[in-house]
Structure 1
Amino acid sequence: MQGQPHQSGGKTRNQPPHPSPQTAHLQPGVTMNNPAFTERGLMIDCSRGAVPSIPFLKRTAERLAAFGLTHLGLYTEDTYTVSGMPFIGFGRGAYTKDEIRDLDDFCLKLGIELFPCIQTLGHLEHIFKNPRFKPFSDAPRILKVNSPEAREFLEHIILEAAEPYRTNRIHLGADEPWGLGLGSSLDFSSPVPPKQLYLTHLAHLSEICAKHQLNGMIWSDYILGHSQNVPLNDDELRAIPQNLTLDYWNYSVLPEEEHIANIRRLQKTGCTIWISPGLHSWNRFFGDFARAVETGETFFRAAGKCGIRSAMTTLWGDDGAESLFRTNFASAAYHLLSMDNPGNTLETTAERVAAAGFPLERFRLLNSLDNRAFIANDPPEVNWSAAKQLFYDDPLYGFLLRLTHLRDFGNTLEEVETKLRELPAVSAEDRELRRLGRLFAKALRLKLNTSALAHMGWKQKNRNTLRRAARAARKAAEAVRAFGKEYEKQWLDERKPFGLEIPQTRIAGVAKRLEHLTGRICAFLKSGQPVPELELEFPDGYTPRDAGTAYASAASKCHNTIWMM
């Protein structure tokens, strides 16, 4: 094993404690009397696609403190420093311990508790993809629970992740352990049931936390049977160690009664309960404000009725992390204000975000880019972004284009582009947000128009229409590159450069495919060279799910386009 296990019996930083949750949120100009949730947190994904910079995290903590933020969690699957294991987080922008200490000191002055969020069971693929760590993995993303060496490794990374923070709180993950016990450790002659392995793992986490005086938290999906598994029965619920805090996450639109039933079931364990809604930042370029509002308000109300006093909303990334924080600011503000008062309204939120330099109208306009009413046969139960998928949709194949009502969607894109251009800027960041949205809407509009012209001209064998498509493709490629340039600038304003290569490659790929379309059309017009992509016949019953699968294999290699379907 690389490195030795941490031998500390507790925290080593001799620093003043954080203010109590009842007083930590009292920022200048803000008064929160008897808040519905005394602990009001935000967890930011710092490892899946993007790693926020420390200066940006400081700005964000300071801004959200005015909305009542008391806890800030940094989700780092592998982007933290582990002594003796330099290949964890290598080339991925991992935070140094000095960076964490600096941010922790800054948050302390704001009355915000900074704490680590890591993974200890599933979601370990970024670590286990390096063969050096294969002895600890049961499968590509799962810890080998019953291995003594894996347990030693686990204790080491937990203590290394916790060490630079002054708090004893640490989120240990343990969600979505798909394939638990079904990898290299599986003994077909005497298989161990996955639920037994899960409870064994929780007991081990409990022992580590007790030994080192850590306040461990875990996600609750496996307990409730929300992770493609059989839920734990009452006897198994009672076996969950009570020194672990259970974090009930749910990002769906559920009836209040269903949330209450889930929370009541978790309360049978005797453990402390937190809740975690989501900001719907994943699988898209621009955060889904409407969905964040819809899912959050019911969740907060149900939790309040169950006596829950701790909440943490989540800002997840994905394999490209295209959605910048500024596009999710209104969602974060709404959730934090609702943690203070479940009766929070859109009017109150609009006043507060406008005062912070982000008028709500911008977010509503950006939200309209994902109006899936323009997509035929749209599966309403899945979370996906029409705008993102159409932006990456290959202009020659037009996998998703074939299902889009282009006239109506094109009008929406033009309207959003015009309004974002004409709205007065109220802050520098508002100007940047509007510019990003405007350039995206223009690039997508020109790209879709190009692809539609190419397919129409080919189907009709109309050479004039094909010439128009070739000219349009050049303009669309220029617009895509202009958006890409602005996107790079805004990425680097919020994030470390690590991970930028993924959306850079995808956006450049869109421009390249448009240029390629021009060349193919010109070759056809000059010498009759075929363009078989434009000849592609689509099977009957073709839906967005089929578009997602075909698109991911043919264009950007974005796995979320398949996963989200």
Structure 2
Amino acid sequence: MNIKLIGDVSSVISGLSQLQKELRFTISEEGVPLIIEKQDQVKLSVSYEAGEGKIMYRDQVHFFRAFSLFLDKLKRKQSSFRIEEEPQFSTIGPMFDLSRNAVLKIDSFKDMIRKLAIMGLNSAMLYMEDTYEIQNEPYFGYMRGRYSQAELKELDDYADQYGIELIPCIQTLAHLEEFLKWSAVAHYKDTRGALLLENEDTYSLIENMITSVTAPFRSNRIHIGMDEAEELGRGVFLNKNGYKPRFELMATHLERVLEIVEKHGLEAMMWSDMFLKLASTSGDQYSASTEIPEYIIEQTPKNVQLMYWQYNATDKSHYTEILKKHKAFGRTPAFAGGIWVWNTFATNYGLSLQATTAALSACKEEGVKDVYVTLWGDDGYENNPFNALLGLQLYAEHAYSVEVNMEKFRDRVKFCTGLEEDFFMLLNALDTPPGVEENNKEQTNPSKFLLWQDPLLGLFDKHIEGYNVQNYYERLSLEIKSIRNHGETLDYLFDVPEKLSTVLSLKADVGIRIKKAYDEKDIKGLNRLAEEELPEISARLEDLRMAHRNQWFKINKPFGWEVIDIRYGGLKNRIDTTVARINDFVEERIEHIEELEQERLYFVPGVEESTSLGWCSYYYRIASPNVFFHVLPIY
């Protein structure tokens, strides 16, 4: 499709040129006339009548959303149309987790930025615990794929042409395990993940962090973290200085950090959970029953924006209550929701989409202006942020309407990603085999634990007894295969889910079948498992590994893949050992297979009474009940 641009296009022509191939249009004097007019009012409009189009916009990113709406309508052969949208938030966009091994390559990050632009999202946070370069700290992000300042500047320049603000999001208190693990930096360390407070070396480091991470960005905003700091003051600090209340330590530390922030002309945001957790009698940071004491309100600095995060509540009233509690601090908080791509190969859209609508409806009613959506990558990021695009689209549609028109939402998903909504929902299906309610509200991750669990130990076998998971995953693999090869650029995202389903169609319940054959002394059945099924699982596993490796290297820097590679290698070796153990028993070299003599227990007691198959966040717990590493004291 050819488009003729009319008006002042100097500020948008660079971004449009980058989108031509992706959106299949060309800029040409022979094209459909499109008048572009910048205005003062925030409402954007798109129209087409008598063969001529017009876009009126204020903010840069509004133009790119409007242009995508215009192009979509033209491609649908609509003879005339008029669309008006009013932005509901000042800032809205994703937070990319770049600290859990998967650091996006520059090219794939740019690909994501283009998609954010046509959706109309105007911001993105880069969550970097230690994956950015700072001077005189060679162990900071060492072998972790850290970004250089030049790379961050390149990303910021690229995002700026679309009117997207990139904001660094770092940690200045806890969640620094990957830096503090090095003996060379022990002088900064209180506990495994927390910095040593009341220590001038620490504040020199923090200033180095802040100046280094903000230098490449145009934005004067920085997120300073400070969430989940339960270990605060309980390690080296306690040994040196004795006990001090956590709130006192945190308030003093925050004041020092904010002095550094203000010194460099920056504006700070931080997670709010520690303030509410310290106020809560139950330890639940976001309990509706929590009353915030006056001393916490008085001693919380006014020059920092608090950010309320919540990922799994589906009741709008819950968000409303917690937002109102935040207002006791004298200002409206920012909000961060989540699209559940973490701790699983699946994307939990059943929960994420419901939680999104509940949360953002409450945010609109309570006047929240800054909204983000987290894409965490806990436990090595077996998933990827592109699998969250359906959820990001829902955030975008909420950003431009009081209530979302679901038909329009589905159309926008198709246009902005090239994929149908139903295709993305197949990712959700990876974690909803028999035994799981469709919306997965109780949260279960069988795509992870059924893959990584040991075939001979079967720690989760009890969870799937009586459920036909084998047939489920076989059907799912065929269903995913049926949507493949549509020529869309994101088709590659379904290679891992397809091959994972193929693996699970044999492996998911293989432990149950091995133990059953052993208990019944079914030698013929054990032979078949050892000679046919287990080798076939191993072969399918190798296909999955290759697909996963190809996907990783397409999207991410290489650092961190070794962790996933080791997991695949470990599982293949355990399959080999399982075959050897069965053969030793069948050929009477051993009298028993001790692993199969053990009673199978529930990994999560009580799961049999739920609409979930259980949850485990950590590979090392799934793979073995034995010691992977010895956890030393926190200091």
Fold in common (TM above 0.5): yes
**Displacement of 1:43 after TM fit?**
0.6
Q: Which amino acid aligns with 2:573?
A: K
CA distance in 2, matches of 1:556, 1:381: 32
Larger radius of gyration: 2
CA RMSD of aligned residues (A): 2.7
The reply to whether residue 536 of structure 1 matches residue 572 of structure 2 is no
Letter of the aligned partner of 1:25 in structure 2? V
- Conserved in 2, the CA contact under 8 Å of 1:450 and 1:476? no
Q: CA 1:315–1:541 in structure 2 vs 1: closer, same or farther (change >3 Å)? A: closer
Call closer, same or farther: CA 1:373–1:146 in 2, change over 3 Å: farther
Q: Distance in 2 between matches of 1:236 and 1:554?
A: 42
Equivalent position to 2:518, from 443, 458, 471: 458
Report how far residue 552 of structure 1 moved: 4.6
Query: Deviation of residue 507 (structure 1)?
Result: 1.9
Identify the residue that residue 215 of structure 1 maps to in structure 2.
267
Q: Which residue of 2 aligns with 1:46?
A: 98
Going from structure 1 to structure 2, the CA distance change for 1:66 and 1:533 (only over 3 Å counts) comes to: same
The Cα of 1:383 is off from its aligned counterpart by: 4.0
Alignment of 1:408-557 (within 5 A): 408-423=468-483, 425-470=485-530, 471-529=532-590, 530-538=592-600, 543=605, 551-554=622-625
- Return the alpha-carbon distance in structure 1 between the equivalents of residues 492 and 615 of structure 2: 35
1:386 aligns with 2:446: yes
Match of 2:201 in 1: 149
Distance 2:187 2:498 in 1: 49
Asked whether the 8 Å contact 2:270–2:306 carries over to 1, the reply is: yes
Counterpart CA distance in 1 for 2:194 and 2:348 is 31
Q: Secondary structure at the match of 1:41?
A: strand
Distance 1:319 1:424, change over 3 A: closer
- Deviations along 1:441-474, whole A, 9 cap, x unmatched? 0101111353333112101101111011111000
Letter in 1 for 2:369: R
How many equivalent pairs are there?
Answer: 538
The letter for the 1-side match of 2:299 is: A
Distance across 1 between alignment mates of 2:310 and 2:469 = 31
Distance 1:214 1:449 in 2: 54
Q: Which residue is 1:9 aligned to?
A: none
**Distance change (3 Å), C-alpha of 1:423 and 1:189:** closer
Contact 2:463 2:602 (C-alpha < 8 Å) held by counterparts: no
**Between 404-413 and 50-59, the greater mean CA deviation after superposition:** 404-413
Which of 65, 68, 72 lines up with 1:29 in the alignment?
A: 68
Distance 1:332 1:505 in 2: 31
Q: Residues 128 and 134 of structure 1 are in contact (CA less than 8 Å); yes or no, is this contact kept in structure 2? A: yes
Question: Are 1:68 and 2:130 an aligned pair?
Answer: no
Q: Give SS of 1:181's match.
A: coil
Structure 1 residue 175: Cα displacement: 0.5
1:456-507 superposed Cα distances (whole Å, 9 cap, x missing partner): 2101101111011111000011001101100100111110000001111112
Pick closer, same or farther for the CA change 1:406–1:361 going to 2, 3 Å: farther
189 and 135 in structure 1: CA distance in 2 versus 1, 3 angstrom threshold: closer
Report deviation, 1:526.
1.6
Query: Cα offset for 1:193?
Result: 1.0
- Pair 1:99–1:188, CA change in 2 (3 A): closer
Residue among 230, 237, 248 paired with 1:185: 237
User: In the superposition, relative to structure 1, how do residues 558 and 541 fare at CA in structure 2: closer, same or farther (>3 Å)?
Assistant: closer
TM-score, scaled relative to structure 1? 0.89
Deviation at 1:531, TM superposition (A): 1.7
Q: Give a deviation string over 1:368-387, Cα, whole Å, max 9, x none.
A: 221265279xxx88644122
2:464 aligned to which of 388, 401, 404: 404
Tell me which residue corresponds to 1:307: 367
User: Shift of the alpha carbon at 1:321?
Assistant: 0.5
CA contact (8 A) 2:92 2:399 kept: yes
Distance 2:404 2:96 in 1: 23
Indicate the residue corresponding to 2:633 in structure 1. Answer: none
In structure 1, how many angstroms separate the alpha carbons of the residues matched to 2:517 and 2:221?
62
**Larger displacement relative to structure 2 (41-50 or 431-440):** 431-440
Q: Distance in 2 between matches of 1:556 and 1:332?
A: 39
RCO higher in structure (CA 8 A, sep ≥6): 1
Q: Aligned with 1:29: secondary structure?
A: helix
CA contact (8 A) 2:353 2:394 kept: yes
Corresponding residue SS for 1:374 = coil
Query: Which moved further from structure 2: 142-151 or 499-508?
Result: 142-151
| Structure 2 residues without counterparts, runs of 5 or longer | 1-37, 43-57, 70-82, 608-613, 631-635
Structure 2 distance, partners of 1:372, 1:219, is 35
Which residue identity lines up with residue 133 of structure 2 in the other structure?
T
- Alpha-carbon distance in 1 for matches of 2:188, 2:153: 29
